[in-house]
Amino acid sequence: MAQDSATTHSTKTAGNMSSENANWWIRLLMWRERHLPDKTFVVLLALIVGVAAGLAAVLLKTLIALIANFLTSRFNAEQGNLLYLVFPAIGILLASLYVYYIAREPISHGVTRVLYALALKKSRLKIHNMYSSLIASSVTIGFGGSVGAEGPIVFTGAAIGSNLGQAFRLTPQTLAMLVACGAAAGIAGIFKAPIAGMLFTIEVLMLDLTAGSAIPLITASVAGATVAYVFTGYNVEFFFSQSEPFYASRIPFVLLLGVFCGFVSLYFITLIDRIEGQFKRLRNRWVRFAVGGITLSLLIFVMPPLYGEGYEGITRLINGDVTGIFNNSLFYSYRNNTVAVLLFLFALGAFKVFATAATNGGGGVGGTFAPSLFVGVMSGVFFAYLFNNLGLIDPDMPLSIKNFALMGMAGVMAGVMHAPLMAIFLTAEMTGGYELFLPLLIVSASSYGICRIFTPYGIYSRRLAKRGELLTHQKDRSVLTLLKMDSVIERDFSIVHPDMSLKDMVDVIAQSHRNLFPVTDDKGILIGVVQLDDIRNIMFRPDLYRRMQVNRFMAIPPAKVIVGTPMEKVMKTFDNTGAWNLPVIDEDGKYVGFVSKSKIFNSYRQVLKHYTYD
């Protein structure tokens, strides 16, 4: 009895403590509401999110560098290293085990998951998303996974913003703003590029920039970049010194490079999508790991610059050191051979896509941001090196390898992500190459234009667009994406059957408040509809009550809508048919209910009211 009493007392004490904690938080929320205006409070939260995301970016970069340096610092630069066959596969294995047994949900493709949260999850991300991507991606990339840290840091920053906003019980539109702030701060911190961080949210996350949203975004981006500068020094991500001026006579070649980068971007987007689709068809995760690990390890052993993010190779090329990309490779002795250089550059750009897809498909965690930078630099250098050695350029004034490496980076990034402004400013901010602003603008715009002709979506939005789950800058389309059919289906219609008499039909009408009646067979399959207006001329003729059946006066609906159809497609069906009501059926053709224009318009107005942060 004494033990029971003690247990009861401790339970009550714990309950009281929990209640006191809850009451304390509620009092804090009430104090905030009385003393801090919403817009001021959001700017304060944006600052906190920016600092936290900046710290996360510094931590992620530090972990990746520590792991990579520990594993590869003793490698011989003048020959191949067999451990390249081991480390990348180990990294994928450790990351996949972490995801499967600890995170217990997919966390790769961080930017796409942020887009999905903004579109369909009311900007809510789980607590573990604040650190799970950081852990898994640092292991993946540190051990050689050929992916980038930018996707994971965007996911981490967005999760920090989402969970902080949820803690303060903020509205969905304010949560979306904090998610965007976290993403912007992540990009700003990882690249030390605050302007690019803000542009990332506008072009990639497709957040509408308003007077109310600009200040929080700027605050978070600057805070993230500042934290990075404090901890890693006031230096750019990739050191670039423009020792060769840009001449206006090079503009035709710049335009041609932009077109080339556009097709390279299309290759990048299409092949990544297809290869990862093939990996998804492998149901057994161990088979996926084996295929991905073996593929990645072999590619890195043959072409060591594919190891990790590839930033060392990028730095060498934007400073004109072409032969440096042969370090640690089997082809070191061919570094001064022109044909070998061209083939190696081409192979690095072409197979980086395979290495990235194998990393993510095999179970690793990382993004496609850094790979697009890598492929862009290889494309720019390959382009300049090829023209310089074809005899088409004056040997006294060759195309600048360094300048074209930078332009290629911006061009492929603009095409792959469908974000030309971000590509221009990010390239300039992370290299200091502001003198090349005009050619960067030309290459980015032309590459984006070419890529946009063939695919309307960038690599991050492509997956959601296929499923009709993508928010865009077009508010009508975005609101329809947020609307779900289940919320607008009306089910209070009286069902009739084709063999019912007119008398039975009149009895049903007398008890219904609707003027539309679905007609189904014994199995519930929808076979027609009856409009009250269509039978007014016969429903008051008793002589026809027994002689006429429903199958005589029912009509075939102009169209049927299957449950789960995206609302944008539903509205197109309304426009094409001119109907105001359409029946909803399941995959087997069974009647479910009706959707009406008026119901959709009412729901549309409610969603639109909460859609934009002002």
What pLDDT score does 541 carry? 83
What pLDDT score does 468 carry? 55
244 backbone dihedrals φ, ψ, rounded to 5°: -120, 115
Handedness of CA 280, 282, 285, 288 (dihedral sign): negative
Query: What is the distance, to the nearest Å, from the Cα of residue 326 to the centroid of all Cα atoms in its chain?
Result: 34
R_g (Cα) of the chain, nearest Å: 30
- Report the candidate in 224, 151, 165, 221 with the shortest Cα–Cα distance to residue 189: 224
- Report the candidate in 173, 179, 150 with the shortest Cα–Cα distance to residue 46: 179
Q: What percentage of the chain's residues is helix, strand, coil (to nearest 5)?
A: 65, 5, 30
563-to-411, 485, 555, 566, 590 alpha-carbon distances in Å: 42, 7, 21, 9, 10
- pLDDT, one tens digit per residue, over 352-407 is 999 999 999 999 999 888 999 999 999 999 999 999 888 777 777 888 888 899 99
Structure tokens, 570: 């539903």
- Report the candidate in 537, 559, 556, 561 with the shortest Cα–Cα distance to residue 548: 537
Interatomic CA distance for residues 310 and 147, integer angstroms: 9
What pLDDT score does 3 carry? 45
DSSP of 235-251 = --SS-----S---GGGH
Structure tokens, 467: 């499923």
Interatomic CA distance for residues 183 and 188, integer angstroms: 9
What pLDDT score does 514 carry? 86
- pLDDT, one tens digit per residue, over 399-451 is 888 889 999 999 999 999 988 999 999 888 888 877 888 899 999 999 999 99
Query: Which ranges of 99-246 does DSSP label H, i.e. alpha helix?
Result: 110-120, 132-142, 150-167, 172-191, 194-203, 211-232
22-to-10, 28, 168, 190 alpha-carbon distances in Å: 18, 10, 12, 36
What pLDDT score does 466 carry? 62
Interatomic CA distance for residues 306 and 371, integer angstroms: 9
Show the low-confidence residues of the chain (pLDDT under 70): 1-22, 25, 77-80, 119-121, 208-212, 243, 463-486, 601-614
- Report the candidate in 378, 585, 366, 370 with the shortest Cα–Cα distance to residue 489: 585
What pLDDT score does 89 carry? 93
Query: What is the distance, to the nearest Å, from the Cα of residue 257 to the centroid of all Cα atoms in its chain?
Result: 27
What pLDDT score does 429 carry? 86
Per the CB < 8 A criterion, the answer to whether 537 and 486 are in contact is no
**Identity of the amino acid at 604:** Y
